Homo-oligomer: A and B are copies of this chain.
Amino acid sequence: MQNFMWDGASRVIFGKGTEAETGKWVKKYGGTRVMLHYGGGNIKKTGVFDRVARALKSEGIDMVEFGGVVPNPVLSKVREGIEFCRKTGADFILPVGGGSVIDSAKAIAVGVPYSGDVWDFAEGKARPEKALPIGVVLTLPAAGSETSQYTVITNEKTLLKRDVVLENNEIIRPKFAILNPEFSFTLSDFQTGCGIVDIMAHGMERYFTRVKNVDLSDKLLENLIKSVMKNGLIVMKEPENYNARAEIMWAGSIVHNDILGVGRGGDWISHRIGMALSALYDTAHGATLSMIFPSWMEYMYRQYPEPFVKLAVNVLGVEYDFESEERTILEGIRRLRDYYRAIGMPTTLREGNIPIDNFTKVAELTEKIGDIKKIDNKDVIEILKLAQ
């Protein structure tokens, strides 16, 4: 794959060495003092931090550092970041990392110009009108947050993991995202696996809908999921396979900037249960999805079999069983679990070290939405039982 720029949802600058352009793009969007936001400091070991800092310096852009974002990013850190930004006078936020760092950056960006508390937006108490501009240097393809308008933060007090900016959320869409697939070479197998599961899930959540006549969108999603599965197996064996890393990284962006999922519904229950599990047990987002998605499918397929059959046949390669649609679907679910296992991801709560005695609490924390079926507490508990 060649380097490219795509001037779309968020401007994407994609390919080897593109981080050298970071300063140029910050400047274009008016940044003069950047808050470089990051996680546990891995970017300092891999050299990414230095490369980005150099790119900023070469354009004469000031930089202040604010690290320490944890996976499943938390509200307290966001509030700290808002104060830090105000104190240092940063006018541009540059997350360098994966979805957690980007989501944290988005919440900070919208919190800085707001006089109240940022969680007000999550509770619908206020409508955000302004945000600091954001640019992204992506190191972990997974969440798709680099080109999306979503930000998911955990409120540690209430244990609610929620989309923070509900209204007018286009103001937090990053102005640009720099995607260098080489930055994903050094991810652990588990991080890579979590990313693959999350990207697949972003396709499948959109795929599972009762909306009809979305054939083009169906086909684009099916082929994206297949591509991610294929390249996922490759990178597990060859972590430095540039092309496979590139296909996964680009898939992660386009599957979540909504261009493949417009004009159709989308279920998102597996995500919502996963978010409750992450809030309670701090489990990696991708791992919650590989545990929950197949069980959600098992529990739900009778409600509206059509997309379950299509996923089995068109994505998972199951031969259609003319004698039993159900067998076709169940074979699809079996293959999905097999795939997750093949890339080293947990498919049961036990494998994921999640206690199985607290399903009521998980159900309470789960947001009750759904397209195949709007769920209630009882449904969540049944799905969790199937995932034990």
Point out the residues of chain B lying under 8 angstroms from A216, CB to CB.
223-224, 227, 247, 250-251
Point out the residues of chain B lying under 8 angstroms from A250, CB to CB.
216, 262-263
Identify which of residues 228-278 in chain A touch chain B, using a CB-to-CB cut-off of 8 Å.
230, 243, 246-247, 250-251, 254, 257-259, 262-265
How many A residues touch the partner, as a band? 35 or more
CB distance from A94 to the nearest CB of B (A): 22
> Is A153 located at the chain interface by the 8 A CB criterion?
no
Among A3-11, A119-127, A362-370, the stretch in contact with B:
A3-11
Give the contacting residue for A259; candidates B2, B219, B227, B259; CB below 8 A: B259
Contact A1 B214 (CB under 8 A): yes
> Is A170 located at the chain interface by the 8 A CB criterion?
yes
Give the contacting residue for A257; candidates B4, B8, B14, B246; CB below 8 A: B8
How many copies make up the complex? 2
CB distance from A130 to the nearest CB of B (A): 16
Q: Which of A6, A251, A265 has the most CB of B within 10 A?
A: A6
CB distance from A139 to the nearest CB of B (A): 19
> Is A213 located at the chain interface by the 8 A CB criterion?
yes
From known contacts A216-B227, A216-B251, infer whether A7 and B149 are also in contact, taking CB-CB under 8 Å: yes
Complex CA gap A264/B4 in Å reads 8
Point out the residues of chain B lying under 8 angstroms from A226, CB to CB.
219
Interface string of A328-345 (1 = CB under 8 A from B): 000000000000000000
Point out the residues of chain B lying under 8 angstroms from A262, CB to CB.
4, 6, 12, 14, 250
> Is A285 located at the chain interface by the 8 A CB criterion?
no
Chain B residue nearest to A248 in the complex (CB):
B216
CB distance from A22 to the nearest CB of B (A): 19
> Is A173 located at the chain interface by the 8 A CB criterion?
yes
CB distance from A330 to the nearest CB of B (A): 27
Contact B7 A173 (CB under 8 A): yes
Chain B residue nearest to A263 in the complex (CB):
B1
Complex CA gap A38/B173 in Å reads 34
Chain B residue nearest to A254 in the complex (CB):
B259
Point out the residues of chain B lying under 8 angstroms from A354, CB to CB.
none
Complex CA gap A385/B213 in Å reads 42
Q: Which of A14, A170, A214, A226 has the most CB of B within 10 A?
A: A214
> Is A215 located at the chain interface by the 8 A CB criterion?
yes
Identify which of residues 51-74 in chain A touch chain B, using a CB-to-CB cut-off of 8 Å.
none
> Is A187 located at the chain interface by the 8 A CB criterion?
no
Point out the residues of chain B lying under 8 angstroms from A215, CB to CB.
227, 230, 247
CB distance from A318 to the nearest CB of B (A): 19
CB distance from A196 to the nearest CB of B (A): 14
> Is A220 located at the chain interface by the 8 A CB criterion?
yes
List, sorted by A's number, 28 A–B pairs whose CB atoms are closer than 8 Å. A1-B211, A1-B263, A1-B264, A2-B263, A3-B263, A4-B262, A6-B258, A6-B259, A6-B262, A7-B9, A7-B149, A7-B170, A7-B258, A12-B262, A14-B262, A14-B263, A15-B263, A213-B243, A215-B230, A216-B223, A216-B227, A216-B247, A219-B223, A219-B227, A220-B220, A223-B223, A250-B262, A259-B259
Residues of A within 8 A of B (CB): 1-4, 6-9, 12, 14-15, 149, 170, 173, 211, 213-216, 219-220, 223-224, 226-227, 230, 243, 246-247, 250-251, 254, 257-259, 262-265
Known contacts A216-B251, A220-B224; can you find 5 more A-B pairs with CB under 8 A?
A7-B170, A8-B258, A15-B263, A213-B246, A216-B224
